Amino acid sequence: MAATRDAVERFGDRMAALALVRPKKPEALPVRITRHRVYILPTGFGLFLSAILAVLLLGALNYNNNPALLLVFLVAAVAHNSLVQAHLLLSGIQLKSVQADPVHAGQTINLRLLFDAQGQRLRDGLEILHDDQQHDFDLAVAGEYEASLPLTSTRRGWQEVGRLRLSTLRTLGLARAWCWLRPDTQLLVYPAPESEHVPFPEASSGDDVQRTRQHGEQPHHLRDYRTGDSPRQIAWKTSARADRLLVREYEASAAHEIEFDWYQLAGVDYEARIRRLTRWVLDAECAGARYALKIPGEQLGPDRGPEHRHACLRALALMPSSSTEPLPHG
């Protein structure tokens, strides 16, 4: 849900730029919130109540009205106690982990934050805020909670989590207690694939296709099992004798091994090459084909499966952001 901020909250956000506000730099996890990190400012309702109490106090002193003075001090004591309670709600909370699955640039990152409540106190009415995205939750006594925040991914590569605000308006809504969190965590963003499907590059030689026509689906040799291989290809008897999983390599499978070469896309824009290679990796994985990726300084595969797909997309995501730097030739 989107967060709406009043004037007091906006003033608190501007205060975050001051050098004395903690934390001053990203912190390694886990991060424990101590009393030195909690800040409190009155809300609009709290300022309104303060003004009423001030007017009531002046009137009671002017007319020497003891019941009015008693009411002012009683309400002020309750308000002060609510500030202490708000401070205690945040003090002792620990941010244990920050995780997110990689997404393609332009997609929404589902940021997962695991909080841990220490001590024998129910911590309800908590809010975690990042930019304009807010998540409300409660922390049970000595319990854990995983909050979820959507983040926008703008470009490929590593993306920092940035600054998070954990706050509460409890118990009476007279003041907001908050603290800043800056986890030293980076999120991986894959490149955005090319919007249209592009045919795979043709093989450099017709030997594989010719060999397939001659031998059909006859097994060529045995190799170790790789993630993503079909169970039908496993040679169970041979695997039992060898005490490890062995897979039949068919001649026809060579025709489905594709190489995606960076240098075969000469003339294509730098970022457009990355997007096209990303599209080919995704399409080849969907087709169940074995594929290899060749980029400057690195070659992956041939292989298939989720681990190989992640390795290829990660390599593409972490390529230099500009083609001005000379790239080695393969």
The pLDDT of residue 17 is 63
Is the pTM for the entire model greater than 0.75?
no
The single residue listed with the structure tokens 């030293």 is 184
Q: Is the pLDDT of residue 16 over 90?
A: no
The single residue listed with the structure tokens 């854990």 is 144
Domain boundaries, the chain: 7-189, 207-317
Q: What is the mean pLDDT of residues 54-83?
A: 94
Contacts 24+ apart (CB under 8 A), 243-248: 246/222, 247/222, 247/223, 248/219, 248/222
Cα separation, 39 vs 8, whole angstroms: 12
Cα separation, 274 vs 194, whole angstroms: 9
**What is the chain's mean pLDDT, rounded?**
83
The pLDDT of residue 78 is 94
Residue 239 banded pLDDT, cuts 50, 70, 90: confident
Whole-angstrom CA distances from 323 to 11, 184, 320 are: 43, 29, 7
The pLDDT of residue 326 is 46
Q: What is the pLDDT of residues 22-37, one digit of tens each?
A: 677 888 999 999 888 8
Residue 324 banded pLDDT, cuts 50, 70, 90: very low
Contact by Cβ (8 Å): 211, 252: no
Cα separation, 25 vs 28, whole angstroms: 10
Under CATH, what is the fold of the domain 7-189?
Immunoglobulin-like (2.60.40)
Contact by Cβ (8 Å): 282, 193: yes
The rounded percent of the chain whose pLDDT value lies above 90 is 51
